[in-house]
Amino acid sequence: MGRNNLRTVIGFEVGRTLGKKKFWFITLLVPIAIGIVIALVSLGNSTAASTIDAQSDAKLTFTYSDASGYVDPAVATALGGTAVTDDAVAIAGVKSGDEDAHFVYPADPAKTPTQVYGVDKGLFGNGEYEGVATQVLIISAQDQIGDPSLTALAQGSVSVTSTTFTDGEEAAGFMGMIPPLVFLLIFFLVFVLLSNQMLTSTLEEKENRVTEMILTTLNPTVLISGKIISLFIVGFVQVLVFLVPALVAYVVFRTSLNLPEVDLSSLTFDPIQMIIGALLALGGFALFTGTLVAIGAVMPTAKDAGSWFSTLIILMIVPLYSLSLILSDPNSPVVQIFTYFPYSAPITAMLRNAFGSLAGWEAAIVITELFLLSAIVLQLAARLFRYGSIEYTTRVSFKTAFARPKATSTAQR
């Protein structure tokens, strides 16, 4: 019977939530916004490409003076330059619009900046002058050195490939951090979108004054469990709604958005890290969901629950402010406190898991703590909901909810 009731609660809660226009408006708002951004970025990129093509077709002409002797006249001429000796006259020509630009190369370009004068082409167009002035010096230096490899080394164009090892095995590096961090992204995104639903899932029945009728046919634990499970299902639906448009956008519009091609073969999927990340996200979501449901059971209105909700959000995201410390010194007392304190543990542990600083025994402790506390909070929420169902205008007293009933004497003196 209890199982049938649980199925009924889950079906009702999921159907009611998915049937609301507000839910789909909020859920689809992010993909629609992403679609609009993609369209605007694509349009902007195509416009910028057209502008760049038009600028490249119009060759820049310039005059220059060289006090260093490093500029190769042949290189400057090929790029549209003409050597002059009078800088003042050349600058006057730029001011009048007769010349596009004038470059003044000092005696020591490595220590003294090259002066560039040009006709204003806007914030982004003016960068062309510096690019051409620099290119003249670079190509001239390459010709004097005579060895392209030495020129590249002199410019610092050196590629380095690093290989590190952990316990005798090659470390995954950055590409091994990305897959576990997906669980952190999903946890944070779903919580933000569903937090209001979590908080009001029990408040709606209280404000509608129907809780007494509900509790005549349902056990509070079954009701609260059904609500929490329904939130998991709704969260899964939202994740799908977000991921599908993102994948379609990447596959279809990757070129127009200038997105880098992701080589999935370079990603490293550590099974242990992925399992730990999934369990941390699941346990954290269960804990925060149960806590918000319990807050809703205690408070008479959503307005009264707002301050507690804000506190919970702060506790959840505070580890992000110590991200540098989590990266540099995961064994510091602050990081350890964040790792084991239940409401900061999910994000802290998921970050450490992705960065490879969360030991197996630490992960086991945190995961056990999250699931165990989630079960306790579930029972707490059910008991608070039982007493909160008749408290419409005042907050439920913990002392009243957990007070033992006084034994009544059956014998009379």
pLDDT tens digits for 102-150? Answer: 999 998 888 888 999 988 877 667 788 888 888 888 888 887 776 777 7
Report the pLDDT value the prediction gives residue 350, as an integer from 0 to 100.
92
**Cβ distance 87 to 102 under 8 Å?**
yes
d(CA 314, CA 341): 13
pLDDT of 190 strictly over 90: no
pLDDT tens column, 205-244: 666 555 555 655 666 667 777 777 777 787 778 777 777 7
**Is 350:182 a contact under the CB 8 Å cutoff?**
no
Predicted pLDDT of residue 401: 53
Higher pLDDT: 135 or 171? It is 135
- pLDDT at 127 (0 to 100): 80
What is the model's pLDDT at position 117?
92
Name the band, by pLDDT with cuts 50, 70 and 90, for residue 304.
low
Going by pLDDT thresholds of 50, 70 and 90, the confidence category of residue 266 is low
> 179 near 274, Cβ under 8 Å?
yes
How many CB atoms within 10 Å of residue 375? 13
- pLDDT at 403 > cutoff 60: no
- Mean pLDDT over 349-366 rounds to 90
Higher pLDDT among residues 30 and 337, named by residue: 337
Give me the pLDDT at residue 413, please.
41
pLDDT exceeding 70 applies to what percent of the chain?
A: 65
Rounded CA separation 334/6 (Å):
41
Tokens 């299902």 — which residue?
233
- Show the domains of the chain with their CATH numbers: 8-33+172-397 (no CATH), 61-155 (3.40.190)
Average pLDDT, the chain: 75
- Res. 411 pLDDT band, cuts 50 70 90: very low
Q: Which of 54-63, 100-109, 384-393 has the lowest mean pLDDT?
A: 384-393
Range in 49-53, 181-185, 229-233, 371-375 the model is least confident about: 49-53
CB atoms inside a 10 Å sphere around CB 344: 21
**What's the pTM value of the predicted model, to 2 decimals?**
0.60
Tell me: pLDDT of 30 over 70: no
Q: Classify residue 407 by its DSSP letter.
A: P
**For residue 157, pLDDT beyond 50:** yes
State the average pLDDT over residues 192-217: 64
Closest CA to 27 of 226, 220, 227, 189: 189
